[in-house]
Amino acid sequence: MKIDLKRNCPFNSDNVPNGDVVLSSRARLARNLEGFPFVNRATASDCAEVASLLQKISNTKDKRSALEWVNMDELDTVTTELFVERHLISSNLSNATHPRAIAVGPELSRSVMVNEEDHIRIQSIRPGLQLHEVHADVHQLDMEVEEIISYAFDSQLGFLTACPTNVGTGARFSAMLHLPGLRIIKDLQRIHNACNDMSLAIRGFRGEGSGTIADLFQVSNQVTLGSTEEELCNLLANDFLPPVLEWERKARRVIAEKQRSKLEDQTFRSLGLLQNARLLTSEEAMKCLGNIRLGVCLNVIDNITLPQINQLMIELHPAHLRYTFGKDLPDDEVNRCRATLIRNIVDS
């Protein structure tokens, strides 16, 4: 399939709602087909059969928004890894060997993973705080899938999933947050407490079990049973996030007022490094971009925009670099190309 990274990057748009703190919003629904074993117990022929039944979801009437069906085995390594970096598919789906597929929207924000841990993982990801919008996206896809197959469903436990942690609605809503202000004033504990009180999970940028990088945190609902999809979405969008956005903005105002020199130093040091470095690891680049992001939000510098930073935070990953600089790019050239890509943006 043909991908145009500039056209297909939803993160380079202006006027993203609450984009100063929320990088992206994501929703996913876990579903399984009635009459088939779950993927971990299924044979290759079961998986192939599930995929063939689901392939019809790419035949929608509206061709502009139609999902493109791709069998994972037919996808080249770089595109597969690029989809993982965009969070369109999981590493599990990428690394598996059984028959599996992805149906992906032309804008690379909606996708349906076929034969991941569950037969169906419907998901949508959008920039900024757009949880209700991503919920609407996955709900629409859910309805379309429901027209062609029968879901495994139980009146007591709801949609049945391979792991009981997803049973019920099968819905997981998450927001990627940039919280440098709360980290600097040492008030992150407040976020952890709020998450505990509301049964929300908080993780570092790289997902489950990973550390934090560039002050990025992912918050999502832990519980999927006993609430409706709307209630779970509201818990994050209406109950948790508004006070958190206020805490982070207040912390940033305090820093801009009381630690101005330190803030300016941190921003310009990071900018200087990105303008001059000839080799950059992804960790170093992410850390500098995180610092510059705070500087941009607090009007310390204005020669780079938030959409540009957001886009760089995605395009600095290896598969994206290979897509831009050549699919055969050797590992030892990746750091050089990353530095070149970023320098071209921050210098201009």
Does the footprint of other proteins cover residue 226 (CB under 8 A)? yes
Calpha distance 192→57 (Å, rounded): 40
The β-bridge partners of 31 are 120
- The answer to whether residues 141 and 131 touch, using CB atoms and an 8 Å cutoff, is no
Stretch that binds other proteins, among 28-36, 58-66, 90-98, 99-107 (CB under 8 A): 28-36
Q: How many Å apart are CA 206 and CA 189, to the nearest integer? A: 20
CA angle 178, 319, 84 (to 5 degrees): 60
Nearer to other proteins, 158 or 181 (CB): 158
CB 340 within 8 A of CB 279: no
Q: Does 17 bind other proteins (CB under 8 A)?
A: no
Which one, 46 or 315, has the nearer CB to other proteins? 46
Q: Number of residues interacting with other proteins: please give it, by CB under 8 A.
A: 46
Q: Which is nearer to other proteins, 223 or 301 (CB)?
A: 223
Return the structure tokens found at 348: 């201009």
Stretch that binds other proteins, among 29-37, 70-78, 265-273, 315-323 (CB under 8 A): 29-37
Please give the full DSSP string across 15-76, using - where no structure is assigned.
S-TTTTTEEEEEEEEEE-BTTS--GGG--HHHHHHHHHHHGGGG--S-TTSPPEEEEGGGS-
Sign of CA dihedral 219, 225, 226, 227: positive
Identity at 233, one-letter amino acid code? C
Q: How far apart are CA 72 and CA 49, in angstroms?
A: 15
224 interacts with other proteins by CB under 8 A:
yes
Among the listed ranges 77-85, 102-110, 166-174, 306-314, the one in contact with other proteins (CB under 8 A) is 166-174
User: Which one of 168, 180, 295, 318 is in contact with other proteins (CB under 8 A)?
Assistant: 168
Nearest-5° Cα angle at 251, 23 to 203:
45
57 binds other proteins (CB under 8 A): no
Q: Which residues contact 175 (CB under 8 A, 6 or more apart)?
A: 22, 24, 25, 26, 129, 131, 218, 219, 220, 236, 241
Q: Which stretch binds other proteins (CB under 8 A): 27-35, 66-74, 95-103, 243-251?
A: 27-35
- Which position among 96, 185, 225, 254 is part of the footprint of other proteins (CB under 8 A)? 225
Helix (H) or strand (E) holding 126: strand 120-127
d(C-alpha 103, C-alpha 348), whole Å:
37
Binding-site member from 199, 210, 238, 303 for other proteins (CB under 8 A) = 199
**Which of 68, 146, 239, 265 lies at the binding interface for other proteins (CB under 8 A)?**
146
Q: Does 144 bind other proteins (CB under 8 A)?
A: no
Q: Are 138 and 124 in contact (CB under 8 A)?
A: yes
Residue selected from 10, 99, 158, 290 as contacting other proteins according to rule CB under 8 A: 158
Q: Is 34 in the site for other proteins (CB under 8 A)?
A: yes
Which CB, 31 or 320, lies closer to other proteins? 31
Residue with tokens 């004033």: 185
Choosing from 80, 90, 109, 169, the residue that interacts with other proteins (CB under 8 A) is: 169
Distance in Å, CB of 96 to other proteins, minimum: 14
- 156 in contact with other proteins (CB under 8 A): yes
Q: Does 210 bind other proteins (CB under 8 A)?
A: no
Pick the piece of the chain touching other proteins (CB under 8 A) from 161-169, 263-271, 289-297, 301-309.
Answer: 161-169
Give first-to-last CA distance, the chain, whole Å.
Answer: 31
Question: Interface with other proteins by CB under 8 A: which range of 10-18, 78-86, 105-113, 139-147?
Answer: 139-147
Question: Which of 12, 24, 32, 109 is in the footprint of other proteins by CB under 8 A?
Answer: 32
Q: Which residues form the interface with other proteins (CB under 8 A)?
A: 32-38, 40-41, 45, 49, 53, 117, 143, 146-160, 162-165, 167-169, 171, 199, 222-229
